[in-house]
Homo-oligomer: A and B are copies of this chain.
Amino acid sequence: MAVRPPSQINPGRIHQALTSYQLAMALKGAIELEVFTHIAAGANTAAAIAPLCQGTEKGVRVLCDYLTVHGFLIKSDGAYGLAPDTAELLDKNSPAYMGSVAHFFTSPTMMNKYRDVAALVRNGGATDHTLAPNDPIWVEFARHMASMFALPASIAAGHVSKAGEPAKILDVGAGHGLFGIHVALRNRAAEITFQDWDNVLEVARANAEAMGIAGRFRTIAGSAFEVDFGTGYDVALLPNFLHHFDFATNIALLKKVRAALKPGGLAAVIEFVPNEDRVSPPDGALFAMRMLGTTPAGDAYTFIELDNMLQAAGFGAGESHSLAPAHQTLILARKD
């Protein structure tokens, strides 16, 4: 170690980034302890919250201060309050509660995929991927992540189907089924076909029945690349599916989807879509790292890339629709 004048640059931001796993785990811990729920119910000090979650006052104070620095709580005169998003999404008594997503995001299986990012970069994708038939991770995903997709699904539904107009809808890689279910909720004349692995379809089926569309759906079990979709669909939903695969694989699938559509039928691709600069907006841009870590060749595709895939498969020019305030984008393309 040579003697030298030390840098005058604060290393705090690098320090914080390298310990940011603590944020993921602290937020998960707070959800498990129902801290947001207790605060919403009026317990707004560490002393008041601690007995409600079998916590120590010190532990609750450290956790709540930590979440305050990160903006998930607010603190005023020693009392904690909820930020707008945590009030709506992490209070168990809110109808929009989505705390279950913590389980999926911070599962050891998911975290482990990022233990060696240098290897992911060298490989250009994951070796330990999640695309094997009936991989149980997709049941976990469908069970725990559905709450994140209610908003984009409900907005997308308004773009693909009109109330009362009979429509045959194919939901490819349906997962939790929410994208198809919201079309069926909006349009009582729609019939939905959910395709996914058999184990995942159990979740879609349960959701569809719980949300009142029993009798208006059927299922096709197996790989989207292998099953027979049938024909005559008005709309094929591809929600959060294409990002798992490379260009050639997606074009082949889109050709198969196109063959299943009626003339004039609509492909509806829902994705996290980065701008062409690939570094904005955050949700779209950061999604590429999700795919690098979990798929062999998937990516966060830009609109131009998705449009190219659709046109290469024989569809007309794609149209992009923001699903804001949801953090996803809908791309529509028609079978001419």
Residue A264 lies at the interface, judged by CB distance under 8 Å to chain B: no
How many Å from the CB of A27 to the closest CB on chain B? 5
A109-117, A128-136, A237-245 - the one binding chain B: A109-117
Task: Verify A17–B23 contact, CB threshold 8 A.
Answer: yes
How many Å from the CB of A38 to the closest CB on chain B? 12
Known: A10-B327, A277-B75. A114 touches B25 (CB 8 A): yes
Copies of this chain per assembly:
2
Task: Verify B7–A150 contact, CB threshold 8 A.
Answer: yes
**Residues of chain B contacted by A72 (CB below 8 angstroms):** 13-14, 17
Q: Per-residue 0/1 for A101-128: is the Cβ within 8 Å of any B Cβ (1 yes, 0 no)?
A: 1100110100100111110111111000
**Residues of chain B contacted by A84 (CB below 8 angstroms):** 9
Task: Verify A101–B3 contact, CB threshold 8 A.
Answer: no
Task: Verify B120–A59 contact, CB threshold 8 A.
Answer: yes
How many Å from the CB of A323 to the closest CB on chain B? 10
Task: Verify B56–A4 contact, CB threshold 8 A.
Answer: no
Residue A189 lies at the interface, judged by CB distance under 8 Å to chain B: no
Residue A89 lies at the interface, judged by CB distance under 8 Å to chain B: yes
A165-173, A220-228, A252-260, A283-291 - the one binding chain B: A283-291
* Complex Cα spacing A9 to B96, Å: 9
Residue A193 lies at the interface, judged by CB distance under 8 Å to chain B: no
Q: How many residues of A contact B (CB 8 A)?
A: 109
Residue A28 lies at the interface, judged by CB distance under 8 Å to chain B: yes
**Residues of chain B contacted by A22 (CB below 8 angstroms):** 114, 117, 289-290, 293
Task: Verify B14–A86 contact, CB threshold 8 A.
Answer: yes
Contacting A289 at CB < 8 Å: which of B10, B62, B102? B62
Q: Which of A1-40 contact B (CB under 8 A)?
A: 1-30, 32-33
How many Å from the CB of A209 to the closest CB on chain B? 10
Contacting A63 at CB < 8 Å: which of B4, B105, B121? B121
Task: Verify A62–B106 contact, CB threshold 8 A.
Answer: no
* Complex Cα spacing A57 to B20, Å: 26
Q: Per-residue 0/1 for A186-228: is the Cβ within 8 Å of any B Cβ (1 yes, 0 no)?
A: 0000000000000000000001001110000000000000000
Task: Verify A117–B26 contact, CB threshold 8 A.
Answer: yes
Of chain B, the residue at the smallest CB distance from A68 is B279
Known: A1-B210, A23-B17, A279-B65. A85 touches B122 (CB 8 A): no
Task: Verify A15–B120 contact, CB threshold 8 A.
Answer: no
Residue A267 lies at the interface, judged by CB distance under 8 Å to chain B: no
Show 18 residue pairs from A and B whose CB-CB distance is below 8 angstroms, ordered by the A residue: A1-B146, A7-B96, A9-B88, A10-B151, A10-B324, A10-B327, A14-B101, A15-B327, A18-B106, A29-B120, A32-B118, A53-B121, A54-B122, A58-B124, A62-B289, A65-B274, A66-B285, A69-B285
* Given A15-B327, A33-B121, A69-B286, 15 extra CB contacts under 8 A: A1-B210, A17-B72, A19-B105, A25-B115, A25-B116, A26-B114, A26-B117, A55-B122, A59-B123, A62-B289, A63-B289, A65-B288, A66-B285, A68-B279, A69-B279
